Structure 1
């Protein structure tokens, strides 16, 4: 029987409802832990919302649906690839020892077949986008391929994850407009620091096991100063989010949800306790809501009062 993984919710739909034979495959793609799908998808949705708001219109729902499917598939492929590369390390860490590849439930060859299948379907979605977006999608593969090795060579693999997970902000903007502009680059930069913060929180769960396995992380590097580090990352993230509104010439309705976004991030940093792994996991999961709030702020920025008042000059 497939083991319940400790960082999945006890009542997740895979363990509760999926057919027994499919469970190892769904867990290989992390479908029992959907937070990662949201965190990969939301920068793309934010890029789509930003592009639309700059033109005074609502986000394209069909494009958002395509990004949801693509994010779910590419996250599944990326997680399976990570499990293949890290299978020996995963076997030494309590939180990851029961993963399908590390436990031997799925072979390396079977995992590669899963990776190829998910990637091909994602490619079909990508090819429906403008040429600039297609180029960006192909370019992201280098970031994805290098990520599993970062924890072996740097104390800041969370920064590399930020580069990787937020690539969708550029891709979403390019899919909507066929180009890349400064506000999209600012959204990408903001997202990098957002991910650096929330993945540092996530890494708090593994402080002891990572030290035993020799795995590097920003949480280990910061140690007891992790809450302060996360706060700094989030301050930079929030400041960059405000510059997006200025250079994107968004309307004044951007501000209320943006303020809520900043308060949500500050709350996470304040509540982080490096000695409480379960609480850190809950804070990490709350970033789904944080990303949705920023998406709402960007989408609301489409509205401008009579006279065409903008935030930016």
Structure 2
């Protein structure tokens, strides 16, 4: 069996390297070595809970959303790698992934996918019926995501739809109703995801061009910094609208200033040809998500 190790952008290669071969392959397949993915999936749900005023009264929901994010992000990665195994074998950054490298078989990957999905189901059953229905509705767009890079230049927008879904689940679990604040919060999260995933896609522009994979990073070309800036600006404006809808106070949107400043730093320091720098800025969105969470917590608690 090939002695595959963590992929080059792994955050915990040493820890993963200590695991036995088969277990290491499954951990890598679910991206357990790269926690940034589950944080990006979790934060919108945390924002929904916080802005709806449920952080303290419904704090177990945050734990459920975190566990669900880890499991379902892992399941999504496994599914994506099954679908993309031939493309991954042609890209320098992804050819070491467990399936194209031979560390994990396709059959084992399907079994692992079922196990992760059952964990997500266990979390789902802890939610109120309305939140369960919203969560289940995400399955179709999740299943369609791996194919978007083949048919549109904006797969990052579709990823935004999927990775922002927890905002709907978190809000509905706490508040129970759809509202203007929720719509704006969700839309802002989509814009944020377009921005950060465009930064992430900068690492693969050359390989993507060779194999015909589309991305916003390729589509924007030399205007990629401006495109990311517009996405982040839209995110901040939409989040401000969500906060205003909850608390119509001129000072309320000021809570987003730290997050806006951090996103501005990403844009100002972004170098499209610097793959390592792009990865660093992409990962820094863990902190951006935390800053938005704090803003939602302040406003949601005070409302």
Aligned partner of 2:210 in structure 1 is 212
For 1:125-140, what aligned pairs fall within 5 Å after superposition?
A: 125-140=123-138
Q: Work out whether residues 12 and 33 of structure 1, in 8 Å CA contact, stay in contact via their aligned partners in 2.
A: no
- CA gap 1:107/1:87 in 2 versus in 1, 3 angstroms: same
1:19-62 Cα shifts (integer Å, max 9, x gaps): 44411110000000110010001111111111116xxx736221
Q: Does 1:14 align with 2:16?
A: yes
Deviation of residue 253 (structure 1)? 7.3
Give the whole-Å Cα distance in 1 for the aligned partners of 2:255 and 2:31. Answer: 30
Give the whole-Å Cα distance in 1 for the aligned partners of 2:179 and 2:128. Answer: 15
- CA gap 1:252/1:66 in 2 versus in 1, 3 angstroms: farther
Aligned partner of 2:291 in structure 1 is 293
Deviation of residue 92 (structure 1)? 0.3
Aligned partner of 2:92 in structure 1 is 94
Could you list the runs of 5+ residues in structure 1 that have no partner in the other structure?
A: 305-309
Could you list the runs of 5+ residues in structure 2 that have no partner in the other structure?
A: none
Aligned partner of 1:174 in structure 2 is 172
Give the whole-Å Cα distance in 1 for the aligned partners of 2:293 and 2:98. Answer: 34
Aligned partner of 2:279 in structure 1 is 281
Aligned partner of 1:74 in structure 2 is 72
Aligned partner of 2:219 in structure 1 is 221
Deviation of residue 254 (structure 1)? 4.6
Give the alignment's Cα RMSD to 1 decimal.
Answer: 1.7
Q: TM-score, normalised by structure 1?
A: 0.92
Give the whole-Å Cα distance in 2 for the aligned partners of 1:271 and 1:122. Answer: 37
Deviation of residue 239 (structure 1)? 0.3
Q: TM-score, normalised by structure 2?
A: 0.95
Q: Does 1:28 align with 2:29?
A: yes
After the TM superposition, which of the residue ranges 197-206 and 295-304 deviates more from structure 2?
Answer: 295-304
Q: Work out whether residues 244 and 253 of structure 2, in 8 Å CA contact, stay in contact via their aligned partners in 1.
A: no
- Select the residue among 221, 228, 231 that pairs with 2:229: 231
Give the whole-Å Cα distance in 1 for the aligned partners of 2:125 and 2:268. Answer: 43
